[in-house]
C-alpha cells in the first residue's frame, strides 16, 4: 500500500465505530432489497396457487414481514444518510485543521512563491468533495457488491443462460468506465487548479481595491477576472465533455441490458423455460442489478473528484518545513540581548546570488544599531535571519552566545519584537489587536501598553474606545494610529530584542514624531535594530551599519561615516544636499 493511500485511510481511524456501524447498516439495507423480489416470486409461484383463505393468511404474514423489513430499512438508511455524512464532515475538518497547522509551520521562503487565493482553495474547495468520498465511497462499494453478487446468485438460480448473457455485458462496461475515469481525473484536477487561479485573482484585486479605484482601473480588473473566468469555462467544458461521454455511454449500456433481458426472457418463455413468477422476479432483480451499477458509476465520479482534491492536499502536506526546531533545541531564559553574526552567508535559493556575504557583526545587549543602504542591499533580510524567518546558508547567528538554530523557534521569536512599515492589523477590535502581543495579558496590561505607545489618547477618543471595530486590516484607522497599535502590541510582548523595519517611513511628519517617541520609549534598555531610509531618524545612533551589494561595507557613528566619504556619505548627500 502506498504512503498516500495509508494516509487517506488513516483519517477513518478516529471514527471507526461510526464507520463500521455505517457499513453494517449498508449491508442490512442491501440485503433487504434482495429479499423483496424473492418474496414476490414466492407469492406468484406458490402462494397464489393455494386456496383462497390459505393464500390470504400467507400473504398477510408475508406483508407483515415486508412492513417490518421496510421499518428496518428506514432506520438503516437514516443512519447512513445522517451519521455517515457527519463522519465525512468530521474527517474533512480534521484534514483542514492539519493543513492549516502545516501552513503555520512553513517559512517565508514558501510564502514568497505562493498566491494566497491558491492556498485558500487548497484549504476549502479541494476538501469539499472529500466529505462525499469518505462517506459514500466505502458505502457505495459495499452496497453495490452485495447487490450485484446477491442478484447474480439468485438470478442464476432462476435461469442460468439469461443470467450469463446479462452479466457477460458487465466487463465491457467496466473497461469503458476505467478509460473515461482516467480522462475525468485529469479534467477535474485542471478544474481545481483553475478555481485556485480565480480565487488568487479575487484576493489580489479585492485586497488592492483602493489602488484599483485610485487609478480608475475597475475595467482593467474586470477584464483580468473575465479572462480567468473564461479559462475556467474552458476547463469546465472539457470536463463536462468527458462526463457527457461517460454518462451517456453507461446509460446506453444499461438500456442495452434491458433490451437483452426483454428479448431473452421472451424467447425463453416461448420455449417454456421460464414461468410468470420467474419473469416477475427477474424483472425486479434487474433494478437490483442496474442500481448498484449506477452507484459504482457515481462512485467513480465522486472518487475522481475527491482523489484529485486529496492529491492537491497531499502536495502541500508533503512540503517539509525548511525551518524547524533542532532535536535538542533549548528554551531561551534570562535573555540579555547580545546578538552576534559570524561569517554569515545567505541567498534565497540555490539559483540566486548571495544577498549577504561574510557578514560579521557583534551587537551588545541594549545597543541601538541602525542599518542603512540602498534598496535591495539586504537590510530587512539581515534582520529576518535573527528570528529565523529565513535560514542562513553558512555561518552562525548567536543570541547570548547560543546559536539561534539551537533555540526553540517559539522561545526565540517570543524574545524578538518586530515593528514593520506595513502594519498588519487583524479584523476585530483594538483590544484584540493589542492583546495579540501577549494572549494571556490582562485588560490593565493592554491599556498600560497602549499608554506606553502613545496610543491611549486617540483610542479613548473613539466611540467604543478599546472595543472599537477597526475593520479589515485596520482600514478605519490612520497610518500613525495603526503604527502606534503595532508598537503597543510589541510593548505588551516585552521582548529583549527589537527590530524596527522602516517603521516611520510611510508617515507624515506629525505622525512620525509621535511614533518616533513611542519607538524610542520602546527601545530603551533593549537591543534594537533600526532599518531606515530617512537618515534623519538615525543620526543619533551610536553605531550605524552600512550594507552594500553583498554585505557590510561601513560601520561607525554619523560623524565618523561622513568623514569616511563612502557609501553613507553618498546616501546622506543625496537626501540632504
Question: Are both 521 and 478 inside the same structural domain?
Answer: yes
Residue ranges making up the domain that contains 130: 3-317
Pair (285, 385) in one structural domain: no
Q: What CATH number did the domain enclosing 352 receive?
A: 3.40.50.300
Q: Are residues 311 and 347 in the same domain?
A: no
Q: What pLDDT score does 49 carry?
A: 66
Instruction: Give yes or no for residue 59 having a pLDDT over 90.
Output: no
Q: Which helix (H) or strand (E) holds 402?
A: strand 402-403
Task: Report pLDDT for 19.
Answer: 92
Helix (H, G, I), strand (E, B) or coil at 77: helix
The mean per-residue pLDDT over the stretch 298-309 comes to 79
Section 318-323 average pLDDT: 86
Out of 42-51, 181-190, 245-254, 516-525, which region has the weakest mean confidence (pLDDT)? 42-51
pLDDT of residue 405: 92
Name the residue among 299, 213, 209 with its Cα closest to residue 250: 299
Mean pLDDT for the chain overall: 83
pLDDT for res 511: 65
Within-domain flag for 147: yes
Does 305 lie in the same domain as 343? no
* Residue 508 pLDDT level (bands cut at 50, 70, 90): low
Same domain, 275 and 358: no
Q: What is the mean pLDDT of residues 152-166?
A: 83
Long-range contacts (CB closer than 8 Å, 24 or more residues apart) made by 376-381: 377/547, 377/548, 377/549, 378/346, 378/547, 378/551, 379/531, 379/547, 380/501, 380/531, 381/346, 381/355, 381/356
Asked if residue 126 is part of any domain, the answer here is yes
Last residue of a domain, one of 252, 285, 317: 317
The backbone torsions φ and ψ at residue 188, rounded to the nearest 5 degrees and listed phi first, read -65, -40
Express each pLDDT in 422-444 by its tens digit. 788 887 888 988 988 888 889 99
Percentage of the chain beyond pLDDT 70 is 94
Residue 563 has a pLDDT of 86
- pLDDT for position 386: 92
How many other CB atoms are there within 10 angstroms of residue 217's CB atom?
15
**Nearby residues of 157 by Cβ (< 8 Å), 6 or more positions away:** none
Give pLDDT, residue 385.
Answer: 92
| Residue 376 covered by a domain | yes
Which of 387, 339, 341, 338 lies closest to 365, judged by CA?
A: 338
According to the model, what pLDDT value does residue 21 have? Answer: 93
Instruction: Give the pLDDT mean for 27-40.
Output: 83
Which of 289, 257, 294, 258 has the alpha carbon at shortest distance from 34?
289
> What pLDDT does residue 169 have?
82
The yes-or-no verdict on residue 340 having pLDDT over 90 is yes
**Are 247 and 391 found together in one domain?**
no
Say if 539 falls within a structural domain.
Answer: yes
pLDDT at 238 over 90: no
For residues 281 and 343, state if they share a domain. Answer: no
The reply to whether 482 and 555 lie within a common domain is yes
Q: How far is CA 279 from CA 102, 155, 288, 293, in A?
A: 60, 10, 14, 21
Q: What's the domain count of the chain?
A: 2
Distance CA 441, CA 438 (A): 5
**Whole-Å CA distances, 84 to 16, 25, 455:** 11, 10, 53
Q: Is residue 323 part of a domain?
A: no
Among 539, 524, 522, CA closest to 487: 522
Single residue among 317, 348, 369 that ends a domain in this structure: 317
- Cα-only R_g, the chain: 35
Highest mean pLDDT among 33-42, 43-52, 154-163, 403-412: 403-412
User: Considering only CA atoms, which of 407, 334, 418, 414 is closest in space to residue 380?
Assistant: 418
Most confident region among 114-128, 228-242, 390-404, 412-426 by mean pLDDT: 390-404
- 3-state DSSP of 309-371: HHHHHHHHHCCCCCCCCCCCCECCCCCCCCEEEEEEEECCCCCCCCCEEEEEEEECCCCEEEE
Would residue 324 count as lying in a domain?
Answer: no
- Tens digits of residue pLDDT in 78-126: 998 888 888 988 898 899 898 898 888 888 888 887 877 778 878 877 7
Minimum mean pLDDT among 155-164, 196-205, 232-241, 547-556: which range?
196-205
Same domain, 296 and 434: no
**What CATH number does residue 93 fall under?**
1.20.1560.10
Query: Do residues 29 and 110 both lie within one domain?
Result: yes
User: Do strands 552-556 and 543-547 pair parallel, antiparallel, or not at all (unpaired)?
Assistant: antiparallel
224 Cβ contact list (under 8 Å, min separation 6): 201, 205
188 is written with which cell numbers? Answer: 477535474
Find the mean pLDDT for residues 235-244. Answer: 84
| pLDDT over threshold 70, residue 550 | no
- pLDDT bin (cut points 50, 70, 90) of residue 52 is low
Identify the pLDDT of residue 379.
87
Name the most confidently modeled range: 1-10, 375-384, 403-412: 403-412
Q: Is residue 334 part of a domain?
A: no
Calculate what percentage of the chain has a pLDDT beyond 90.
12
pLDDT in tens, 162-215: 888 888 887 887 788 778 877 887 887 788 778 778 877 777 777 677 667 656
Highest mean pLDDT among 14-18, 161-165, 265-269, 451-455: 14-18
DSSP code, position 436: T
Q: Does the residue 329 lie in any domain?
A: no
| 304 and 368 assigned to the same domain | no
**At residue 75, does pLDDT exceed 90?**
yes
One domain for residues 305 and 400:
no
Question: Residue 341: pLDDT above 90?
Answer: yes
**Mean per-residue pLDDT, 228-240:** 84
Amino acid at each position: 500500500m502506498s504512503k498516500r493511500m495509508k494516509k487517506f485511510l488513516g483519517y477513518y481511524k478516529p471514527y471507526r465505530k461510526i464507520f463500521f456501524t455505517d457499513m453494517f447498516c449498508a449491508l442490512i439495507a442491501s440485503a433487504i432489497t434482495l429479499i423483496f423480489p424473492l418474496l414476490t416470486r414466492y407469492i406468484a409461484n406458490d402462494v397464489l396457487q393455494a386456496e383462497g383463505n390459505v393464500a390470504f393468511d400467507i400473504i398477510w404474514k408475508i406483508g407483515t414481514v415486508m412492513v417490518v423489513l421496510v421499518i428496518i430499512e428506514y432506520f438503516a438508511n437514516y443512519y447512513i444518510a445522517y451519521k455517515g455524512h457527519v463522519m465525512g464532515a468530521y474527517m474533512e475538518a480534521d484534514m483542514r485543521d492539519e493543513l492549516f497547522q502545516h501552513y503555520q509551520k512553513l517559512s517565508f521562503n514558501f510564502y514568497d512563491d505562493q498566491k494566497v487565493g491558491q492556498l485558500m482553495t487548497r484549504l476549502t474547495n479541494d476538501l469539499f468533495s472529500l466529505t462525499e468520498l469518505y462517506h459514500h465511497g466505502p458505502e457505495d462499494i459495499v452496497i453495490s457488491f452485495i447487490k450485484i453478487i446477491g442478484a447474480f446468485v439468485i438470478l442464476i438460480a432462476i435461469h442460468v443462460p439469461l443470467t450469463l448473457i446479462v452479466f457477460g455485458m458487465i466487463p465491457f462496461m467496466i473497461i469503458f468506465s476505467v478509460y473515461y475515469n482516467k480522462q475525468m481525473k485529469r479534467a477535474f484536477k485542471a478544474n481545481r487548479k483553475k478555481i485556485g487561479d480565480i480565487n488568487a485573482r479575487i484576493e489580489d484585486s479585492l485586497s488592492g481595491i483602493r489602488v484599483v479605484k485610485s487609478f480608475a482601473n475597475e475595467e482593467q480588473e474586470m477584464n483580468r477576472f473575465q479572462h480567468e473566468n473564461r479559462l475556467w469555462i474552458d476547463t469546465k467544458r472539457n470536463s463536462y465533455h468527458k462526463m457527457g461521454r461517460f454518462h451517456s455511454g453507461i446509460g446506453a449500456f444499461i438500456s442495452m441490458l434491458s433490451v437483452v433481458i426483454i428479448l431473452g426472457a421472451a424467447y425463453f418463455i416461448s420455449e417454456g423455460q421460464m414461468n410468470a413468477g420467474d419473469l416477475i422476479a427477474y424483472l425486479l432483480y434487474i433494478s437490483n442489478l442496474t442500481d448498484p451499477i449506477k452507484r459504482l458509476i457515481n462512485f467513480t465520479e465522486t472518487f475522481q473528484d475527491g482523489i484529485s482534491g486529496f492529491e492537491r492536499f497531499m502536495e502541500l502536506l508533503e512540503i517539509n518545513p525548511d525551518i524547524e526546531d533542532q532535536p535538542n533545541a533549548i528554551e531561551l531564559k534570562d535573555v540579555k540581548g547580545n546578538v552576534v553574526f559570524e561569517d554569515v552567508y545567505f541567498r534565497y535559493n540555490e539559483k540566486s546570488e548571495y544577498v549577504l556575504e561574510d557578514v560579521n557583526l557583534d551587537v551588545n545587549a541594549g545597543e541601538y544599531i541602525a542599518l542603512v543602504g540602498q534598496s535591495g542591499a539586504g537590510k530587512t533580510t539581515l534582520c529576518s535571519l535573527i528570528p529565523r524567518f529565513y535560514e542562513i546558508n553558512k555561518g552562525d547567528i548567536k543570541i547570548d552566545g547560543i546559536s539561534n538554530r539551537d533555540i526553540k523557534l517559539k522561545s526565540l521569536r517570543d524574545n524578538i519584537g518586530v515593528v514593520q512599515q506595513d502594519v498588519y492589523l487583524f479584523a476585530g477590535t483594538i483590544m484584540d489587536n493589542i492583546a495579540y502581543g501577549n494572549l494571556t495579558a490582562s485588560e490593565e496590561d493592554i491599556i498600560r501598553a497602549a499608554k506606553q505607545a502613545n496610543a491611549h489618547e486617540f483610542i479613548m477618543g473613539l466611540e467604543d474606545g478599546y472595543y472599537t471595530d477597526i475593520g479589515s486590516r485596520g482600514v478605519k484607522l490612520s497610518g500613525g494610529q495603526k503604527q502606534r497599535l503595532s508598537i503597543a502590541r510589541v510593548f505588551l510582548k516585552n521582548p529583549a530584542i527589537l527590530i524596527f523595519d522602516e517603521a516611520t517611513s510611510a508617515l507624515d511628519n506629525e505622525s512620525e514624531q509621535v511614533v518616533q517617541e513611542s519607538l524610542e520609549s520602546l527601545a530603551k534598555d533593549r537591543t534594537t535594530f533600526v532599518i531606515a531610509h530617512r537618515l534623519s531618524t538615525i543620526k543619533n545612533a551610536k553605531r550605524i551599519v552600512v550594507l552594500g551589494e553583498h554585505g557590510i561595507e561601513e560601520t561607525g557613528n554619523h560623524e565618523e561615516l561622513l568623514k569616511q566619504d563612502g557609501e553613507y556619505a553618498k546616501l546622506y548627500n543625496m537626501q540632504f544636499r
